[in-house]
Structure 1
Amino acid sequence: MNQALKERIIAESKQLGIDKIGFTDASSFAHLKTSLEEQKAAGHTTGFEHPIIEERLYPDKIFEQPQSIISIALAYPTKIKEKPGITRGERRGSFARASWGIDYHNILRDRMNKLITFIKEVAEDDTELTFKPMVDTGELIDVAVAQRAGLGFIGKNGLLITEEFGSYVYLGEIITNIPFEPDTPIENQCGECTKCIDACPTGALLGDGRMNAQLCLSYQTQTRGMMPEEFRSKIRTVIYGCDICQQVCPFNKGKDAHFHEEMEPDPEVVTPLLKPLLTISNKEFKTKFGYLAGSWRGKKPIQRNAIIALGNARQKSALPDLLQVIEVDPRPDIRATAVWSVGKIVGTQPNPELYAFFEDLLADEEAPEMIEELTKVIKKWQ
């Protein structure tokens, strides 16, 4: 069953910078159907997932006569080699590790396309070879494919955990009409450990590898509009993503891979000063952050999260900047978030001028977001 070709692909994958590779058949993932339907019915999904459940489960719904799926993993760094510069009195935000370096979707597609080119060149087959590569924006469930292909096991946090790199890996897969001998799936090894579940600030992890994704802080940092108040303090100074369930995982202890130059983080980019983000232009944002996976939702969520982070950091030097946002920014949700942040920094003892300014704002305000946040802060100050 193309064993010689499989061995050549494995050898070439190492040359191409693929850190792990595995093979599985193209049979269905029907055993996950009930779970996916339950998650959707319970409102635990984000809307970022592929919307058609059948296509997530059955490779033959998205590929003509699939025979195998090749799963790949690339390990990414967990530590920054050089710390960012210190600016006295200024706080920095942070992007989660999976958003360091060039957008991983582009890196994975590059590796998979090169692998497909190699397979076409060396395969001795009279039939027309077909391939469909995909990353997490595709139909299939990356972790389910990778687990069945023997790359690792799915932990209680829902992430694939590999022996060599822990869960700090990017995943991609290629459906093909070439039959390969499948590798052996790896069973869960979490045992009685519940560290990720216990550490999750919002209780998003359900304990069986599933999560209420609506409660996940990573999802909340990617939403648009007002972030629900229950999550604001919990993101601390993180402006994109969340690493908590990975950081506490015993399988991730000491894991820090620096194999790919394009994944190396620029400390000034992935831990940016917060205040400049309040007034950054679209052009400046695209120039500085556009290559990150964390920029995919655009400037506005990052700005909102930076405003929240300034409040959580109690950065008093940011008060003039936040007040400027409240006065001149045309976006009600951004202005309202700045109101919340000012209230967080000032606490319960505002000066009379600030109190009067907020009361005057409330008297003339029409945006419901602003009315709600101003009312809350003024009530706290009374």
Structure 2
Amino acid sequence: MNIEQLQQQLIEYASSIGVDKIGFTTASPFNELKNRLKRQQELGYQSGFEESDIDKRTEPIRLLDNAESIIAIALAYPSKMEDAPSGKKGARRGIFARASWGIDYHVAVRERLQLIEVWLQEKVPNVQLKSMVDTGELVDRAVAERAGIGWSGKNCSIITPEFGSYVYLGEMITNIPFAPDTPIENECGDCTLCLDVCPTGALVNPGQLNAQRCVAFLTQTKDYLPDEFRAKIGNRIYGCDTCQTVCPKNKGKMNWIHDEFKPDPEIAKPLLQPLLNMSNKEFKATFGYVSGSWRGKKPIQRNAIIALAHFKEQSAVPDLIDIMKKDERPVMRGTAAWAIGKIGGPLAEDALLNALEREKDEAVIHEIHKGMRLLKAETKA
């Protein structure tokens, strides 16, 4: 079988296993990307979650000897939820970003790549392959862009004509010299909606993201959330979709294609207060299958406290007082103290004063004082 036939058969096979788009590119270095990544590093715009070695991120040959080409795949995920529950006073809800609806996409994309690996191994003796999804060395978006999956939008997402930017990406380096696809022309035009509405100004320029300010990144951190961002995250407990939901190219893209990505509304938009006292075991049993659980329960619980403060949910105050008294984690005690001050009410002042008397952690004491200042400001108003 010649390579052209193999490539066409692979395209057909990929479609049969639920791959929504497949593209091919060479394994040549991503030189322009290397310069951009160095600049991002210099500016301190990286999240810290990515591979630190820029050469590995931009030179496929460093990851696979005899690398000739890269296969890029994309799976579409839903942009709309059926039967989405509404939060209300006394039963407020948080929201997971769409990329965390349904089963963990790392698992779903990796399964497809593994099937393609087996298929190629059966067809090509001594084939060499290296697959990755999100946490690998290569930059998924750069590979997808060069392989013609979509163009790189001003919101730093790959935008496909068929599914908008609601796609998961994965890739496979191989020693098979597949014919490369042609990149898609950028269709963002003069539109700057994503930059205009970014809650924290993280999109500093078209296609340039300061990850340290991105809500999606901030919701995954485990320390105190900086003050300037607490009012910005609203009821987001994992991720942020703002720069996608405003994109005109996403209008009308429902993408109800894969059952495995369709969300359980009670998981994707969970009640906030039950999250506060959830054990590790309960958290894993409830949320362990979604990608938003990868950092554990601490960021989710911290974000739930901030969301309850955002809603000024009075019914949460007793739970927050309990956290301030009993939680062994300083970040939770401190965030709860701040939230109590933000929410206010008849129990708040005594609770904060009592906490101040017994608290030993300096950072928590600092948050208690913040809460007391918020409370005084609210009383004066």
TM-score, scaled to structure 1: 0.95
- Counterpart CA distance in 2 for 1:71 and 1:303 is 35
**In structure 2, what residue type is equivalent to 1:212?**
N
- Counterpart CA distance in 2 for 1:376 and 1:105 is 39
Q: What is residue 156 of structure 2 aligned with on the other side? A: 158
**In structure 2, what residue type is equivalent to 1:37?**
K
1:228 matches 2:226: yes
Please, which of 376, 379, 382 is the counterpart of residue 373 of structure 2?
A: 379
**In structure 1, the residue corresponding to 2:131 is in which secondary structure?**
strand
Q: Is the 8 A contact 2:324 2:355 kept in 1?
A: no
Q: What is residue 123 of structure 2 aligned with on the other side? A: 122
In 2 relative to 1, CA 380–121 (structure 1 residues): closer, same or farther, beyond 3 Å? closer
Question: Quick check: 368-377 or 286-295, which moved more?
Answer: 368-377
**In structure 1, what residue type is equivalent to 2:80?**
K
Q: Is the 8 A contact 2:87 2:93 kept in 1?
A: no
Q: Is the 8 A contact 1:130 1:176 kept in 2?
A: yes
Post-superposition CA distance 1:272-301 (Å, at most 9, x none) = 100000100110000000000000000111
1:63 matches 2:64: yes
**CA positional deviation for 1:363:** 3.3
Post-superposition CA distance 1:92-112 (Å, at most 9, x none) = 111000001110000001001
Gaps of 5+ in 1: none
Q: Is the 8 A contact 2:45 2:209 kept in 1?
A: yes
Please, which of 361, 364, 369 is the counterpart of residue 358 of structure 2?
A: 364
Q: What is residue 105 of structure 1 aligned with on the other side? A: 106
**In structure 1, the residue corresponding to 2:177 is in which secondary structure?**
coil
- Counterpart CA distance in 2 for 1:78 and 1:336 is 35
Coordinate RMSD, CA, aligned: 1.4
**In structure 2, the residue corresponding to 1:311 is in which secondary structure?**
helix
- Counterpart CA distance in 1 for 2:106 and 2:247 is 25
- Counterpart CA distance in 2 for 1:128 and 1:162 is 34
1:309 matches 2:307: yes
- Counterpart CA distance in 1 for 2:174 and 2:348 is 64
- Counterpart CA distance in 2 for 1:197 and 1:317 is 36
**In structure 2, what residue type is equivalent to 1:330?**
E
Q: Is the 8 A contact 2:195 2:206 kept in 1?
A: no
- Counterpart CA distance in 2 for 1:364 and 1:81 is 47
Post-superposition CA distance 1:224-267 (Å, at most 9, x none) = 01111111111101100000000000100011111111111101
**CA positional deviation for 1:360:** 3.2
Q: How does 1:264-279 map to 2 (within 5 A)?
A: 264-279=262-277
Q: What is residue 213 of structure 1 aligned with on the other side? A: 211
- Counterpart CA distance in 2 for 1:165 and 1:105 is 19
Q: Which segments of structure 1 move beyond 4 Å, counting only runs of 4 or more? A: 85-88
**CA positional deviation for 1:119:** 2.0
- Counterpart CA distance in 2 for 1:14 and 1:178 is 20
- Counterpart CA distance in 1 for 2:86 and 2:179 is 51
Percent identity of equivalent pairs? 52
Q: What is residue 52 of structure 1 aligned with on the other side? A: 53
**In structure 2, what residue type is equivalent to 1:367?**
D
Q: Is the 8 A contact 1:326 1:338 kept in 2?
A: yes
- Counterpart CA distance in 2 for 1:280 and 1:112 is 35
Please, which of 171, 174, 177 is the counterpart of residue 173 of structure 1?
A: 171
- Counterpart CA distance in 1 for 2:355 and 2:88 is 33
**CA positional deviation for 1:176:** 0.3
**CA positional deviation for 1:147:** 0.6
Post-superposition CA distance 1:20-77 (Å, at most 9, x none) = 0000011000111221111111111111001110000100111101011000000001
Question: Quick check: 282-291 or 33-42, which moved more?
Answer: 33-42
Q: What is residue 354 of structure 1 aligned with on the other side? A: 348
- Counterpart CA distance in 1 for 2:170 and 2:87 is 37
**CA positional deviation for 1:315:** 1.0
Q: What is residue 194 of structure 1 aligned with on the other side? A: 192
The number of residue pairs the alignment matches comes to: 375
Q: Is the 8 A contact 1:157 1:207 kept in 2?
A: no
**In structure 1, the residue corresponding to 2:85 is in which secondary structure?**
coil
Q: Is the 8 A contact 2:120 2:127 kept in 1?
A: no
**CA positional deviation for 1:88:** 6.4
Q: What is residue 7 of structure 1 aligned with on the other side? A: 8
**In structure 2, the residue corresponding to 1:234 is in which secondary structure?**
coil
- Counterpart CA distance in 2 for 1:139 and 1:205 is 23
**In structure 2, the residue corresponding to 1:223 is in which secondary structure?**
coil
**In structure 2, what residue type is equivalent to 1:158?**
C
**CA positional deviation for 1:85:** 7.5
- Counterpart CA distance in 2 for 1:256 and 1:232 is 30
- Counterpart CA distance in 1 for 2:93 and 2:348 is 26
- Counterpart CA distance in 1 for 2:348 and 2:24 is 63
Q: What is residue 41 of structure 2 aligned with on the other side? A: 40
**In structure 1, the residue corresponding to 2:206 is in which secondary structure?**
coil
Please, which of 105, 130, 133 is the counterpart of residue 132 of structure 1?
A: 130
**In structure 2, the residue corresponding to 1:80 is in which secondary structure?**
coil
**In structure 1, the residue corresponding to 2:37 is in which secondary structure?**
helix
Question: Quick check: 153-162 or 74-83, which moved more?
Answer: 74-83
Q: Is the 8 A contact 2:147 2:183 kept in 1?
A: yes
**In structure 1, what residue type is equivalent to 2:79?**
T
**CA positional deviation for 1:86:** 6.6
- Counterpart CA distance in 2 for 1:370 and 1:316 is 22
**CA positional deviation for 1:87:** 7.1
**In structure 2, what residue type is equivalent to 1:149?**
A
